Every structure is written in structure tokens, then in C-alpha cells.
Amino acid sequence: MTSGIKLTALWLRRAKSAVVFTGAGISTESGIPDFRSPGGVWSKYRTVYFDEFCESPAARHEYWAQKTEAHVEFAAAEPNTGHRTIAKWEAQDRIRGVITQNIDGLHKLAGSQDVLELHGTAREVSCLDCNARFPVDPFVEQFRATSVVPPCPDCREGRLKHATVSFGQMLPEQTLHRAQRWCEEADLVISVGSSLVVYPAAGLPELAKRRGAKLVIINRDETGLDAIADMLIEGSCGEALEAIDAAL
């Protein structure tokens, strides 16, 4: 592992356009549970698809029940050393920014400025009808107290939804296009805590590799792109990032 850390640090020092790509593994180290594991939120509920949410008041209520339970479990989470190290690298102009699959907002809380949230953010709600956006906490508290799906405060009748990408919903087009451009122009991508099996997100490090970038994968388990990686670092995301930073 030591040689991999040192070589990654060397590549990062020399990189002209480095990008960090993150998945759930970096946030579990902040105490955010894996909602898909046995006993997790998503194992207790059926999936509410985007078209159902749009068409059915009952589906919207079920969606809000799921999201409210999940929110209670992650809202108090704080950025860990991995998030803070990535923010530090951006401030030092070592990386262009962060592309993340995570919806927890921890990169921004850590101080990262240019964060492309491919699956949106659970720290806001948005109205599907008038596009207004609001901080999520008051609406979660309202639902917990009343068990009534809150209406949009701006247009009154609008369907209010967490500003995240639901099953069956398209990724935000502008965000995806920026992420693709970053990866096309990258000379180094460091993937942290992602299984790299969920597409189209997982296709971004793959795109960078095809365009000639070096690909470093930091993860506890095997990933879908291990076979094409230039470096595999197994173990804690935070510890690995901290070690790379120390070797810079």
C-alpha cells in the first residue's frame, strides 16, 4: 500500500487536470449507514419510481415517509478526514473539483467549492411544478409532525420532492455534461469509495481512462473497473487520502 500511496501522490503532484470521483464508501466513514443493506431504509420499503411520484398522491406520501426516515439518520453527519482532504486539494489547485454520486452534501460542508452532484442533494427540496428550491429540514419536520406531504410554499399546489434523482428520473443534464467534460480533459482521476457499477456515473472514470488519464481506485472492496485501473488502494478512504496528502 505504501508504494501505491507514494506513486499516487507523485501523479497528483504532476497532474494538470485531476478529478476526484466519490461514492458511498467515503460517507459511511462519517457514520452514514448503507440504506440498502439488510435492515436499512430501502430494504423496508418498495421503490417509488419517478413517474409514480408525479402521478400518485399515495406514492408521494410513501416517498416522503422513506426520505424522512433516511434524513433523520444522515442529517447530523459531519465531513470526515477524506472529505476535508479533498477540499484541501481543491483549495491548493491540485484538483479541478469533485464529481460525486452521493446526495449527503458532505463535500460542500467540508469546504469543496466545485462539486458536481450527479444524483442531486438530499439537503434541499425542489418543486417539480415551479422549480423553486428550499432547505429540506423544515419540510421533513413538517411531514414528521403531520404525516402530510408538504405543498410548495411558492406556488401552493406544486409537488415538492427532495432534490435528488429518483429511480426512473434522468440525471441533471447540465451536471452530467460538465462531469463528462472534466473527465474528457482529465489526466488523473482518483475514484474514492465507489463500487463503480452504477451507470451512467461509473462510465465517467471509464471515459477518462479511455481518453488517456491515469485511474486510481481507493475502495474497501472490488469495483467494476479494477481491471483497467492504474492503481488499486484497498482500505479506508479517509486513511488513504490522508496518507496521499502526507506524501505530497
Q: Which three cell numbers stand for residue 9?
A: 501522490
CB under 8 Å to 210, separation ≥6 — which residues?
none
| CB distance 139 to 71 below 8 Å | no
Which grid cell sits at 148? 402530510
185 burial type by CB count under 10 A (0-12 exposed, 13-18 middle, 19+ buried): middle
φ/ψ of 98, rounded to 5, equals -120, 130
Q: Which residues are catalytic?
A: 119
Closest CA to 108 of 138, 133, 74, 78: 78
C-alpha dist (Å) from residue 226 to 23, 78, 146, 196? 15, 29, 47, 9
Give the residue among 2, 218, 8, 185 at the shortest CA–CA distance from 96: 185
CA distance 19 to 233: 17
Distances (CA, A) of 63 to 14, 35, 103: 46, 14, 16
Place of cell 420532492: 161
